[in-house]
Amino acid sequence: MEVNNICSSAIVAQVLSGKDNYENWRACIKYYFLVRDLWDVVEQAPEPLKQGKGYGADFKAWRKRNLTALHAIQISCDPSMLSYIRNMTTAKDAWKTLAQRCAVAVARDADRTHILELLKGIKEHDLESTKSVLTSHTHLANAVIGDSSFTAFHFAIFKGQLDMIDEFLSTMSEEHLKKQDRYGRTVLHHAAKSENTKIAQSLIRKNRELLTFPDNGGDIPLNYAYFALDLLRHRPHLAFVERGDGINAVTVLSCQPSAFLAAVGIKQIYDLKVTHVYAHELLLLMSKTIAVFDAAQCYRSSVHQAMLNAAQWGMTEFIVEVIKPNLDLLMVLDEERRDIFQIAVAHRQEKVFGLIYGLDATKYLFLPYTDRNSNNMLHLVGQLSPSLRLSFNKSQVQLCKCKENYNGSRSASLSLL
């Protein structure tokens, strides 16, 4: 059977879109695998050992069946579900990942008595009663209650009882903590909303990846500014903890202009003034922590990538505060060997480009610099739309003529940009 001849309509009636149609999707595609003798590859068959230069016949046969099953799974998913498995190489891993993403434990009718007992124990802070229920019915720790997306664990978080939280955590796996509600929020998002950093620290000790899980609006837990600041005052290294895909809180913050007033509309400024103060102090904490990193730590902690992100997204405040004690980060380059000022030009971030005026004579180091394709700043400006090109050209002319001191140059840039 050739992989190329498979289409999703021949496998499932509807592609997998999430939790709502997972059970029907699972039944259809499982039957498809059973009929074609592929189910063992998906469910349990281990990868055969590679033997010799050309590998053994068993491995070649397994590889063909694995690719057939993996392809069937991939084309039976919508783009959002495919994003979770697109880099996986075995059907078994893809199947397991989709099950973890979509299979939600729901409290059955028979469990309602125990759910009520559990909620009562949480409400009355009856640790022994709660422990007894969780010991006998461990699945209830993560079971969704009714038609909501909330669990008993959510109630325990908002009650703020640390010993109760630790009891729940003793029955839960790291994967359980990764589960997101209908708004994309993990338990750490809810702990952040409750501003209870002690509970947050318990959750992070169990699974550090929670720090960088975004909700449906793109917010990670550290976006709750007061919570983040309180937590990082005591444990600043948490800002650099990465999840499996290399993302950490610093790289996320570098892509979110809404954390800073410079990118917020006038009507929002009043409401976000306090948040901005917290976000700015959070940025200062990160910057000071970066200043004591060695070169290897900077690279491992994605600090270089955060600077590149900030240039692309117009995060002038992020760049300024990080650069103050870390001048060497001005020299970071992306894959095209572009510095932050060239990136600013390419992505139409005039305010970031305007920061070059604050570099006194150092700015002349960057003017002739060319990227991997031998483009300098003027070449990149030439690729912009006419209106944007005019604005950047004025800045370039000003740079070429500039002989003033730092303050004079900076005020000139502000009038142009």
What are 105-138's pLDDT values in tens digits? Answer: 555 555 778 888 888 998 899 999 999 988 888 8
The answer to the question of residue 11 being in a domain is yes
User: What pLDDT does residue 279 have?
Assistant: 67
Share of the chain above pLDDT 90, in %: 7
CA dist 98 and 77 (Å) reads 10
pLDDT at 389 over 60: no
Cα-flanking dihedrals φ and ψ of residue 144, to 5°?
-70, 135
The answer to the question of residue 89 being in a domain is yes
The answer to the question of residue 228 being in a domain is no
Look at 85-89, 93-97, 412-416 and tell me which has the smallest mean pLDDT.
Answer: 412-416
| 212 class by beta-carbon count within 10 Å (0-12 exposed, 13-18 middle, 19+ buried) | buried
What's the average model confidence in pLDDT over 363-381?
Answer: 80
pTM equals 0.46
Q: How many CB atoms lie within 10 A of CB 214?
A: 18
pLDDT at 67 over 90: yes
What's the average model confidence in pLDDT over 84-98?
Answer: 87
Q: What does the mean pLDDT of the chain come to?
A: 75
What is the distance, to the nearest Å, from the Cα of residue 6 to the centroid of all Cα atoms in its chain? 33
pLDDT tens per residue across span 282-305: 778 888 888 888 878 887 888 888
CA dist 265 and 239 (Å) reads 27
User: What pLDDT does residue 412 have?
Assistant: 32
pLDDT at 381 over 70: yes
CA dist 355 and 357 (Å) reads 5
Range of the domain at 68: 3-102
Residue 5 is classified by DSSP as: G
The answer to the question of residue 193 being in a domain is no
The answer to the question of residue 107 being in a domain is no
pLDDT at 104 over 60: no
Q: With bands split at pLDDT 50, 70 and 90, how would you rate the model's confidence at 75? A: very high
The answer to the question of residue 247 being in a domain is no
Q: With bands split at pLDDT 50, 70 and 90, how would you rate the model's confidence at 69? A: very high
User: What pLDDT does residue 21 have?
Assistant: 82
Q: Give, to the nearest 10 degrees, the angle between helix 162-169 and helix 197-206.
A: 10
The answer to the question of residue 397 being in a domain is no
The answer to the question of residue 14 being in a domain is yes
pLDDT tens per residue across span 166-183: 999 988 888 788 888 777
User: What pLDDT does residue 58 have?
Assistant: 78
pLDDT tens per residue across span 1-32: 344 445 556 688 789 888 778 878 888 888 89
**Sign, Cα dihedral of 265, 268, 270, 274:** negative
pLDDT at 87 over 80: yes
User: What pLDDT does residue 146 have?
Assistant: 61
| 206 class by beta-carbon count within 10 Å (0-12 exposed, 13-18 middle, 19+ buried) | buried
pLDDT at 413 over 60: no
User: What pLDDT does residue 246 have?
Assistant: 63
pLDDT tens per residue across span 233-247: 766 666 676 655 566
pLDDT tens per residue across span 331-340: 888 988 899 9
Q: Please give the residue that has the higher pLDDT: either 241 or 141.
A: 141
pLDDT tens per residue across span 307-356: 999 999 888 888 988 888 888 888 888 988 899 999 988 888 888 888 88
Share of the chain above pLDDT 70, in %: 70
User: What pLDDT does residue 231 have?
Assistant: 67
User: What pLDDT does residue 404 have?
Assistant: 39
- As for how many domains the chain has, the answer is 1
CA dist 227 and 192 (Å) reads 6
User: What pLDDT does residue 273 have?
Assistant: 53
pLDDT at 265 over 60: no
| 272 class by beta-carbon count within 10 Å (0-12 exposed, 13-18 middle, 19+ buried) | middle
CA dist 157 and 273 (Å) reads 28
User: What pLDDT does residue 1 have?
Assistant: 38
